């Protein structure tokens, strides 16, 4: 198993320790990451995102979307149906319980969720606080000293 050493990042930057820890976590995680249910992550605007999960066979009441700290947690309990009374020749639609976790960056919030046509859509928006937005800093000019003023006048003459 390969390990990522974040030490050079710590020497050359300040405040990126969370990113280094995340890289280390991703590099050390199992290669067999859960693949159910399949999902897409799309960018819907400059600061907008949408996570779409294929949840065929689940009702909206069977699904739960929660935000805890910087994690989005989508869970589903097994749908209660009359499958015992049915005789399947082939059962390809999985309705097994699942838990899918997405790590959210700072200042990303969930704005809504909808369930339609076997898809669960979760909309997210990144909102930077005013304190983190770029701002221009004015440079104050100090008055020229007495000797500097004479030098400038002499050179102008």
- Which CATH number goes with the domain that contains 78? 2.60.40.790
Of residues 70 and 4, the one with the higher pLDDT is 70
Q: Is residue 123 part of a domain?
A: yes
- The rounded Cα 97 to chain-centroid distance in angstroms is 24
Q: How far apart are CA 115 and CA 117, in angstroms?
A: 7
Q: Is residue 135 part of a domain?
A: no
Range of the domain at 96: 37-129
Residues in the chain: 157
Q: How far apart are CA 68 and CA 104, in angstroms?
A: 10
Q: How far apart are CA 55 and CA 36, in angstroms?
A: 9
Domain match, 115 and 44 both: yes
pLDDT digits (tens, 9 = 90+) for 36-92: 889 999 999 988 999 999 998 888 999 999 999 888 999 998 756 656 678 888 888
Show the tokens assigned to 1. Answer: 């198993």
Q: pTM surpassing 0.75? A: no
Q: How far apart are CA 101 and CA 75, in angstroms?
A: 9
Domain match, 87 and 125 both: yes
């Amino acid at each position: 198993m390969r390990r990522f050493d974040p030490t050079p990042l710590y020497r050359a930057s300040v405040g990126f320790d969370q990113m280094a820890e995340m890289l280390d976590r991703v590099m050390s995680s199992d290669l067999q990451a859960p693949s159910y249910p399949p999902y897409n992550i799309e960018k819907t605007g400059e600061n907008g995102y949408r996570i779409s999960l294929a949840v065929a066979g689940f009702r909206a009441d069977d699904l739960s979307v929660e935000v805890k700290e910087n994690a989005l947690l989508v869970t589903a309990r097994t749908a209660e149906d009359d499958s015992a009374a049915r005789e399947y020749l082939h059962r390809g639609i999985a309705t097994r319980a699942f838990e899918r976790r997405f790590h959210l960056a700072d200042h990303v919030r969930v704005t809504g969720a909808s369930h339609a046509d076997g898809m669960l859509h979760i909309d997210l928006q990144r909102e930077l606080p005013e304190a983190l937005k770029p701002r221009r800093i004015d440079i104050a000019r100090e008055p020229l000293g007495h000797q500097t003023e004479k030098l400038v006048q002499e050179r102008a003459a």
